[in-house]
Amino acid sequence: MSEQQPTGPDVPAPTGETAPREGQAGPQADVPAGLDAASTETPPVEVVVVTGLSGAGKNSAGRVLEDLGWYVVDNLPPALLLPMVELGARGDVRRFAAVVDVRSRAFSSDLLEAIRVLAEAGHRPRVVYVHARDEVLVRRYESNRREHPLQGSGRILDGITAERALVAGIAGEADLWVDTSDLNVHQLRATLENAFAREGRTPPLTATVLSFGFKYGLPLDADLVVDARFLPNPHWLPELRPHTGQDPDVRDYVLGQSDAGPFLDRYTEVLRLLIPGYRREGKRYLTLAVGCTGGKHRSVAIAEEFARRLAADGIDAVARHRDLGRE
């Protein structure tokens, strides 16, 4: 089933010659007989498998990768991953991306097996899991007046719930989670560029420092969670309340607290201890979530400072603010 449902941030397709879109594998789509996992004649290929929830932005992510120079194929069944990768490699394709949709109850196990076979054949597969909050997905479907592909005679939310169950296995094995709930087109592009735009090398580790408000829930993709609520809340100061942790007066107030400096120093040392270990274990992406009550003042200032310190240590680091503007 071709994914024609809404896909979140809409990245324009590039003009001119492009990789095949919407399930069309182009003139090389015919797989030669006898091509299987035993083939050893093709060089290793970087492979990115983009999967996740319908309506979360998988196709938009595929278009971004296409703009970054990856050879992208949409709606590719898991069983065809290895044949298509090796066929592309014979045509000098070294960076191959596939957008893969849910097609059966065995989706996760089939895709995990296909990825295992790719790795055994000497290629370098990675999985990007694109998702969004339920209420965001429902709103996208309603605004586009489309049905969820799995809702049947039920509600849109029923289809989303069913799909989450089907993709749970592959989600747990993904190398990168991309939550598009609060991303615009530029932020989606920046996220993928940070991970995949480097020609000829894989970034050792990319860190996202994400501020959030505890009253809106914990970020699902957080690796580490820091609670900044031990610091005085600028919300209770009328002159600071309308401002955010990105404004100098709030930032200076938060970082000027007597406990802020020692906390930042000690936690930065913890990160300096953890990050080399993460690298040794092959971890490429780290999400450090910093929370306060509403995600407006303390967590924003602390997240910006953590990102600055990590960048000063030579780590690819970016600060994002999930709940800024919700109040």
**What is d(CA 282, CA 42) in angstroms, rounded to the nearest whole number?**
25
Instruction: Report residue 88 as tokens.
Output: 């592309």
Alpha carbon of 286 to those of 104, 172, 208: distances in Å?
31, 15, 6
How high is the pLDDT of residue 198? 57
User: Does the annotation flag 103 for ligand binding?
Assistant: yes
Residue 102 among known ligand-binding residues: yes
Spans of all domains in the chain: 26-202, 207-321
Q: Divide the 327 residues of the chain into consecutive groups of 10 and give the mean pLDDT of each group.
A: 46 41 43 44 88 93 90 92 92 93 81 94 94 94 87 90 91 92 84 72 76 96 96 97 96 97 97 89 86 98 97 93 90
Is 104 annotated in a binding site? The answer is yes
The answer to whether the annotation marks 57 as part of a ligand binding site is: yes
Question: Is the pTM value of this prediction over 0.75?
Answer: no
Residue 320 marked ligand-binding: no
Q: Is 144 annotated as a binding residue?
A: no
Give residue 29's pLDDT.
Answer: 41
CA distance 255 to 306: 11
Q: What is the pLDDT of residue 204?
A: 64
pLDDT at 88: 92
Q: Is 101 annotated as a binding residue?
A: yes
pLDDT for 2: 41
Distance CA 58, CA 7 (A): 7
- pLDDT of 245 reads 96
Residue 104 Cα to chain centre, angstroms: 23
Helix axes 134-144, 156-171, angle to 10 degrees: 130
Q: Which fold has domain 26-202?
A: Rossmann fold (3.40.50)
282 is in an annotated binding site: no
Give just the sign of the alpha carbon dihedral 51, 53, 58, 59.
Answer: positive
pLDDT at 150: 87
CA distances from 266 to 80, 261, 270, 273, 311 (A): 49, 9, 6, 11, 17
